[in-house]
Amino acid sequence: MISKKTSGSLISDGLVIVILLFIANASIILDIPLCRQIFGIILLCVIPGLLILLILKLDKLGLAERIVLTLGVSIAFLMLFGLAINQILLQFNYMKPLTTGVLLLSINFVIIILLAVAYVRNKEALFSSRHQLDLNTTSKWFVLISTTLPLMSILGTNLINSSNNNLMLLGLLFVIPILVILFSIFNKRISANTYPLSVIMISASLLFMFWLRSPHILGEDINNEYRFFQLTLNAGHWAVFEKSTLDSCLSISILPTIFQCILNFSGQEILFKGVFAVICAFTPLVVYIIAKKYVGEALGFLSSFYFMSQSSFLITPGSARTNLAIFFFAISIMVLFLDNIKSKNRNAFFLLFIVATIVSHYTTTYIFFFLLLATFILSLILNKYCLSRSITWVSVVFFAVVGFIWYALVVQSPYTGAINFLRNTLVNLGHIFTIEARGTDVGYLFGSLNNNLTTRGIILIHAQSLVLWLSFLLIAVGIIGSMIRYKRMLLMDEATISATSILKSKFDTEYFLLAVVGSVMLVVSIAIPYISLGYDLIRIYEQTAVFLSVFLVVGGMLISQLTKINKHIILLIILIPYFLFTTFAAYEVLGLHETYILNSKANDADYDVINEQETIASLWLEQNMDGISLIYTADSYSANILFSQGLISDKLVNSANFDNHGDTAGYIYLSTNNVVNQKFVVGNEAYDINKFADILNERDLIFSDGGSEIYK
């Protein structure tokens, strides 16, 4: 029987959702600026996940856990629901299922059903219990400072865009580590609820810098990803358009299409980058949730800060599908080891996020599956130490079957690409001692430097490399130390662990095995040729850092025990320089302009930032080309402009023959860097474009706008 108080709360919560639903629909239908975007985001990112959590009665989870699960479930729901609507309506020969009217009607229908089920299922009204932040005076000051960080990022980026004044952005990049230091100093006086908010604010401020640096796409892979989004948006449906690996990534096709149809942003490039910046800003919060279980809130905060400092995370708006897949991967790991969640709910969430990862990015999925499979096998071998099991043969088989169906039967290209990757890895085993057979990231680790660096640049590069290796050392100490002390860190009874162990809670055995497998994977990717060529080492590291970041903290704690030096000091000595190096703040302060994010004078601003003249030229080419002849570019950066600005298929663009003086019978497109700066870039090295004067002199100039040229 429901009490009057509980019943009233249920009606109140249901009424709030109905009101939000009504306002969102009115704003979308009437196209009310700002309201459409604000309430549209609530409709897409909050309500579906919130109702599903309500249905599952997850009333024992903390606020941070509910936030990331609400967002994660909502985004996974959007992709899979969008695919379902797409396929069903196409079967009935309705060719525009991914349009505003259809999506709005369908989403409303499902939300009303979820609301009804939630009311029937959860009589105790999960979200009627109000959470109090319970912040003391010290915590309120930290919250106030944290909330100013995104504002600094937005204002600083606008300032550098308008006048190349980077003082505010540099100030931001030094305020963040100062704040982290203060968190460590006052950790005993800070309320636990302060950390999640600060993690989100720091993460968002870092991603906003990249997101807002230009109205155009920034990065490499994202240019072609944006083209696939436009293919889906313009067609009004998803399909295997080009038999490409990108066809398998609903994260860059169906997901942004749904956001655009509902939110109707005029700047679609900003929307495309912004969707991923906002969603992935919560990935460090997931890392924090995982870490705090084992090392507590204060050290969990440092774990998340280490994850945020990864260079591949910092460029999330320029690496859409990869980082969204890592977001789902992180939540998958989180739900596996969450306390206070029923086994059936854990399994349901885990399988949902497995599917979300599969349809987001193929390589992240392959790494995820290998980690899962290897951990499962090790848990069987070490069966007597696995007192409870979260990874089962059902989840492993489910993962393999769904992955095979999607990649091999539906899309096909990712499966073929994986086979070729394995073949090339085996073929290149003979080059195991050749550094050139590995990616540039591996070369950097072992001291391979750019010959054009100044003495000051070489010193900074070596310093950064040293800090990087020290972070690896801490992780190794954390894993090996935990292995040596396994009776105290993996097997000890929870009732006695607080008094005798450095951990807040013992490691779950499978979690520890996952870390061991991830560490071995990193070593193998460095040792075996071609792996790091086929897939960047920094991306593999970002994915494994989801759980390895905890062991960096544990390594610092173990060293602290041996040396009697405060653990926070040991960790901050590594983390602060690490952050200043990966954000390039240290380089910029010393007069080395290494990234256009902080200075328009940086070399990559010449070829990685798209200007309006290049946009105009690529659009002209798309409208006037014959659709048969290939387009040749001097470098891959010029090709990227054609992908995102002209929406020209990569099958029609060749960026290799020009450099090799090969066949260029077709169109030749030159970017601003080629025309104005007289340079082209290969492997981040600039060369003189005049070496191709003989090729250009034989062609007719058919378009020029002072910034770009097109020859035929």
pLDDT tens figures, 5-29: 444 444 455 677 888 899 999 999 9
pLDDT of residue 58: 82
Q: How far is CA 610 from CA 17, 521, 572, 645, in A?
A: 42, 36, 37, 9
Q: What value does the mean pLDDT of the chain take?
A: 87
**Neighbour count for residue 448 (Cβ, 10 Å):** 13
- CA gap 514, 377 in Å, rounded: 11
pLDDT tens figures, 71-120: 999 999 999 999 999 999 999 999 999 999 999 999 999 999 998 898 88
Where do the structural domains in the chain lie, given as residue ranges? 4-128+252-266, 137-215+280-589, 607-711
pLDDT of residue 451: 55
pLDDT of residue 603: 87
pLDDT of residue 619: 95
337 neighbors 386 (Cβ within 8 angstroms): no
- CA gap 355, 368 in Å, rounded: 11
Nearest to 336 by CA among 197, 468, 513, 193: 513
Nearest to 413 by CA among 246, 577, 556: 246
pLDDT tens figures, 155-197: 999 999 999 999 999 999 999 999 999 999 999 899 888 999 9
Name beta bridge partners: 710. Answer: 669, 703
Considering only residues 284 and 456, tell me which one the structure prediction assigns the higher pLDDT.
284
Residue 38, helix vs strand vs coil: helix
The least confident of 79-88, 368-377, 536-545, 641-650 is 536-545
- CA gap 315, 387 in Å, rounded: 40
pLDDT tens figures, 525-545: 776 654 544 556 777 888 999
* Percent of the residues in the chain that have a pLDDT greater than 70, as a whole number: 88
Tell me the pLDDT band of 127, cut-offs 50, 70 and 90: very low
Parallel/antiparallel/unpaired status of strands 701-704 and 709-711: antiparallel
Tell me the pLDDT band of 649, cut-offs 50, 70 and 90: very high
pLDDT of residue 420: 59
pLDDT of residue 437: 45
Q: Does residue 432 have a pLDDT over 60? A: no
* Percent of the residues in the chain that have a pLDDT greater than 90, as a whole number: 62
Helices 137-163 and 167-185 pack at an angle, to 10 degrees, of 160
Residue 539, helix vs strand vs coil: helix
Q: How far is CA 583 from CA 126, 208, 618, 700, in A?
A: 41, 13, 32, 44
pLDDT of residue 494: 60
Kindly give the residue spans of alpha helices, DSSP state H, lying in 92-240.
100-121, 137-163, 167-185, 194-211, 221-235
Strand spans (E) along 434-528: none
- CA gap 99, 101 in Å, rounded: 6
Half-sphere exposure of 644 (CA within 13 A, CB side): 31
pLDDT of residue 453: 67
pLDDT of residue 701: 93
